Amino acid sequence: MLARWRRLGTYGELPTLFTDYRLLADNPRSTVTPGPRYRDRPGEEPVARVIGIHNLALRAGVTEEMFDRFIAENHHRIDDYPDWRFHVLKGERGNRLDQYVMMMEIASLDALDVFYPEPDIATGEAAEFAAVHRDTKQMYEEWKQLASFSGSPQIYTDYLAVAENPA
């Protein structure tokens, strides 16, 4: 299987881009249910989650230690949109060594579209959520003093899960 995959993809071509990440923080209170990111069983609706990988950059003069400490001390203040779950990751190996990403795990494309039906265009539901969750909004404003935040102009991609090794 791997030999066939290598012929079809760019896996064996240089340069190979990869990063192994270490989890710094996530939201255990999220409403995203545990389970597969993709599942297709006869007689059931397919499960296809969205995985957003949003690259972050530290601001000038901000050290990794400062940002790591801020995340460790403040990530509990984040409340996610319904059916969303954030993860803050730091590169351990590879091309983005010591760089950060915010990974969003979103239950479905429909759950993404409730708040962002178009790239970087928030809905009224997103504004209402922010108004109710003021401490989360304040924490994000504090974050932006230390590092970039997800969304434009940062480099990011939201991926729709299309396959997963069955459990």
Q: 167 pLDDT band (50/70/90 cuts)?
A: low
DSSP state letter for 24: E
Question: What is the pLDDT at residue 85?
Answer: 96
- Lowest-pLDDT choice from 17-21, 71-75, 79-83, 123-127: 17-21
Question: What is the pLDDT at residue 47?
Answer: 86
Question: What is the pLDDT at residue 11?
Answer: 53
Nearest to 120 by CA among 143, 144, 152: 152
DSSP string over 105-122: EES-HHHHHHH-SBTTB-
pLDDT tens, residue by residue, 105-148 = 999 999 999 999 998 889 999 999 999 999 999 999 999 999 99
Question: What is the pLDDT at residue 96?
Answer: 86
Cα–Cα–Cα angle for 156, 111, 115, rounded to 5 degrees: 70
When pLDDT is averaged across residues 12-30 and rounded to a whole number, the result is 83
Residue entry with tokens 């530290």: 58
Cα 17 to its chain centre, rounded Å, is: 18
Q: How far is CA 3 from CA 6, 9, 11, 79, in A?
A: 5, 10, 10, 43
Question: What is the pLDDT at residue 1?
Answer: 67
Q: Compute the distance between CA of residue 76 and CA of residue 146 in angstroms, rounded to an integer.
A: 17
pLDDT tens, residue by residue, 28-76 = 899 998 888 888 889 988 889 999 999 999 999 999 999 999 999 999 9
DSSP state letter for 81: P
Token pair recorded at residue 151: 């969304």
